[in-house]
């Protein structure tokens, strides 16, 4: 789905509002190989196939802290009951289980991309956190935990070999993102923000969670952005990323190349999350956090309940929150000048003109030219605000 089509669906009132807001966040169709390959035709993709014993995997996770499971991102509970027991039974019988995927970080740690449920179940069994049940082949083991197994079976379990593809540096983030999408196509398809949350857990995901649950954001949006599928965190991430970009905080990042916006929103947001996690100093993070919250408070106080919505259609149907209005108005309201009187009619007129002409708010919205045009428009609005009496 192109971003143009996405924007038309945002405006399509036949679709439930929570689906219209962020049905597909990106102008890049992650499911189209031609799109992704055109972005990195000469990218170096480094993949190594390795195998670890169950016992070695336990040491990597518990003793050496080199395995990252990111339990904050679990689409469902860790396998319990029959499903988990059948996995353990398969291992004890020597039956191969599907290959898993890890991403190796620059510091040598390994992030589990595909296989979280299996690894967590294996480690939980090793640590006597559950007992086997409903086994159909090794029935005599029903009711057993790891400690109850005889030493031969314990050895078989500990020595069992798990096969893993490890995607190593310097594989680009954009390639990793695409690989993650491909290996997670079974079951419910992850949207782009859910993938980012899984890939870049840390300070970035903690900040997004905090801001999405903040009173200021909930009031400014009237709780009009569904938290399901991380739609709320997506529009907040976009707003934060553009604030950092416009403020110049993404140019001189210690330990990272300068982050530029080049018409690829997914690559841009991934790099911003990496920067938030480990490279931006605390002062820059706190500054953008406070700017965002202040903007939300001002928007709620000055513009009220329709801040991020265009005026109703002729039918009178209320329009959904528009994410492009959200990120541009968030930028505008980080400036204290908006505290001037009589700003509300001016903003209303500005929104009406945008709704009528469309332009960068409707066409190729994530192209660099459109992003630059929107924020130039926001700067022009700021100039008009400054001239108010």
Structure-block tokens of residue 263: 């018409």
Strand partners, 51: 163
Q: What percent of the chain has pLDDT over 70?
A: 84
Closest Cα partner for 11 from 305, 311, 257?
311
How far, in Å, CA of 226 to CA of 232, rounded?
Answer: 6
What is the predicted pLDDT for the residue at 175? 78
Q: Encode 70-82: b = buried (16+ Cβ within 10 Å), e = exposed.
A: beebeeeebbeee
Query: Which tens digit of pLDDT belongs to each residue from 36-85?
Result: 334 455 667 888 999 999 999 999 999 999 998 865 554 444 566 788 99
Is the backbone of residue 134 left (phi > 0), alpha (psi -120 to 50) or beta? Answer: left
How far, in Å, CA of 374 to CA of 372, rounded?
Answer: 6
Task: Look at the chain and count its residues.
Answer: 389
Query: Which tens digit of pLDDT belongs to each residue from 183-237?
Result: 766 555 678 898 888 788 889 999 999 999 999 999 999 999 989 889 999 999 9
Q: How many CB atoms lie within 10 A of CB 39?
A: 17
What is the predicted pLDDT for the residue at 38? 41
Whether the pLDDT of residue 326 is over 60: the answer is yes
pLDDT band at 35 (very low <50, low <70, confident <90, very high): very low
Closest Cα partner for 303 from 276, 328, 280?
328
Q: How many CB atoms lie within 10 A of CB 187?
A: 8
pLDDT band at 278 (very low <50, low <70, confident <90, very high): confident
What is the predicted pLDDT for the residue at 188? 52
Domain residues of the chain, as ranges?
A: 3-27+186-386, 46-168
Contact criterion met (CB below 8 Å) for 27 and 365: yes
Whether the pLDDT of residue 290 is over 80: the answer is yes
Strand partners, 49: 165
What is the predicted pLDDT for the residue at 186? 57
112 vs 147 pLDDT, higher one: 147
Contacts of 50 (CB under 8 A, 6+ apart): 163, 164, 166
Whether the pLDDT of residue 7 is over 80: the answer is no
Whether the pLDDT of residue 165 is over 60: the answer is yes
Place of tokens 């296989």: 115
Structure-block tokens of residue 268: 């841009």
What is the predicted pLDDT for the residue at 217? 97
The answer to whether the pTM exceeds 0.75 is no
How far, in Å, CA of 219 to CA of 230, rounded?
Answer: 18
Distance between the two ends of the chain, CA-based, in angstroms? 45
Mean pLDDT of 317-345: 93
Beta strands in 237-347 (DSSP E): none
Contact criterion met (CB below 8 Å) for 385 and 338: yes
CA 358, 379, 218, 202 dihedral sign is positive
What is the predicted pLDDT for the residue at 14? 31
Query: Which tens digit of pLDDT belongs to each residue from 91-130?
Result: 999 999 989 989 898 889 998 888 888 999 999 999 999 9
What is the predicted pLDDT for the residue at 176? 76
9 vs 280 pLDDT, higher one: 280
Q: Is 325 exposed, middle or buried (0-12, 13-18, 19+ CB in 10 A)?
A: buried
Whether the pLDDT of residue 269 is over 90: the answer is yes
What is the predicted pLDDT for the residue at 61? 95
Closest Cα partner for 314 from 7, 2, 72, 13?
13
């Amino acid at each position: 789905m192109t971003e143009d089509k996405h924007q038309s669906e945002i405006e399509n009132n036949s679709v439930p509002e929570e689906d219209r807001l962020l049905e597909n966040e990106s102008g890049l169709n992650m499911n189209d190989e031609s799109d992704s390959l055109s972005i990195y035709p000469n990218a170096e993709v480094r993949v190594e196939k390795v195998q670890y014993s169950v016992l070695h995997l336990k040491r990597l996770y518990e003793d050496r802290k080199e395995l990252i499971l990111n339990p904050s991102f679990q689409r469902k509970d860790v396998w319990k009951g029959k499903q988990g027991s059948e996995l353990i039974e398969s291992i004890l019988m020597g039956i191969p289980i599907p290959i898993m995927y890890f991403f190796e970080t620059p510091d040598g740690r390994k992030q589990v991309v595909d296989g979280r449920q299996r690894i967590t179940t294996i480690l939980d069994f090793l640590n006597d956190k559950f007992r086997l049940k409903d086994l159909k082949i090794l029935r005599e083991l029903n009711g057993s935990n790891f400690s109850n197994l005889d030493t031969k079976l314990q050895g078989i379990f500990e020595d069992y070999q798990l096969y893993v593809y490890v995607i190593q540096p310097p594989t680009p983030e954009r390639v990793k993102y695409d690989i993650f999408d491909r290996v997670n196509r079974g079951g419910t398809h992850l949207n782009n923000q859910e993938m980012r949350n899984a890939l870049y857990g840390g300070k970035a995901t903690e900040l997004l969670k905090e801001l999405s649950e903040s009173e200021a954001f909930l009031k400014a949006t009237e709780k009009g952005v569904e938290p399901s599928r991380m739609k709320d965190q997506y529009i907040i991430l976009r707003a934060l990323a553009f604030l950092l970009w416009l403020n110049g905080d993404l140019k001189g990042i210690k330990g990272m190349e300068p982050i530029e916006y080049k018409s690829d929103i997914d690559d841009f947001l991934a790099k911003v999350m990496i920067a938030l996690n480990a490279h931006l100093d605390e002062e820059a993070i706190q500054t953008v956090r406070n700017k965002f919250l202040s903007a939300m408070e001002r928007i709620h106080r000055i513009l009220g309940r329709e801040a991020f919505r265009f005026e109703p259609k002729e039918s009178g149907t209320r329009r959904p929150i528009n994410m492009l209005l959200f990120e541009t108005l968030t930028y505008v309201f980080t400036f204290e000048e908006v505290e001037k009187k009589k700003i509300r009619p001016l903003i209303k007129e500005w929104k009406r003109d945008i709704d009528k002409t469309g332009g960068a708010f409707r066409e190729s919205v994530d192209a660099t030219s459109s992003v630059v045009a929107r924020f130039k428009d926001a700067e022009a609005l700021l100039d008009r605000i400054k001239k108010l009496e």
